Amino acid sequence: MTLDSTPAQSQMIRTSAEQKLVERDKEMIPTVLIRAMFILCLCILIIVSYARLTDRPLSAMPPSEAEVPIVTERTVRIFAELDGSARVMALDGTVVADFAADEGGFVAGIYRVLERERGAVGLEASDPIRVVRYADGRISLRDAFTDFRAELVGFGATNEAAFARILEE
């Protein structure tokens, strides 16, 4: 806007600028992209429905105990506090591992998962659980009371090492 412009000209410039903003806002997310998102969601829904209706077997599961032999196995009880500290005990009552609050967070987290899973069937979280090392190097947790199982490789090397320590002691 120049100094010698009239009020009518300044109104026209403002209207033009506002119109440009409206046009820009309309095209922030292109219509094609929105349609593509809905088509993708619909395709996923169709694929999942097909898999469920035809009872398609799970394909991304780790090998079963029948396929890979067990190298080491230990049945333990886990006791944990909300501060992250945890104590792992053998069935005879000896302490296998005692984790301080700053190092037992993952073990305490597993205890809380067991608390939830076992609480649903009326059991105590501190009931025995199996820690298993397979011939292929995987370490996992197996619960005989519920269908809970955890492949520890998916939780990172440090967390897996906490349970490897339990197997070694």
Torsion of CA 111, 115, 121, 123, to 10 degrees: 80
For 27, residues 6+ apart whose C-beta sits below 8 A from its C-beta are none
Is pLDDT of 107 > 70? yes
pLDDT digits (tens, 9 = 90+) for 81-91: 888 888 888 88
Is pLDDT of 148 > 60? yes
Q: Which pLDDT score, from 0 to 100, does residue 147 have?
A: 82
Q: What is the pTM of this model?
A: 0.61
Mean pLDDT of the chain: 83
Token pair, residue 167, equals 């197997």
Q: Which pLDDT score, from 0 to 100, does residue 37 have?
A: 96
* 74: phi then psi, degrees, rounded to nearest 5: -145, 135
Look at residues 6, 9, 28 and name the one whose alpha carbon lies nearest to residue 17.
9
For 99, residues 6+ apart whose C-beta sits below 8 A from its C-beta are 84, 85, 86, 87, 88, 107, 108, 162
User: What confidence category does residue 1 fall into, taking pLDDT thresholds of 50, 70 and 90?
Assistant: very low
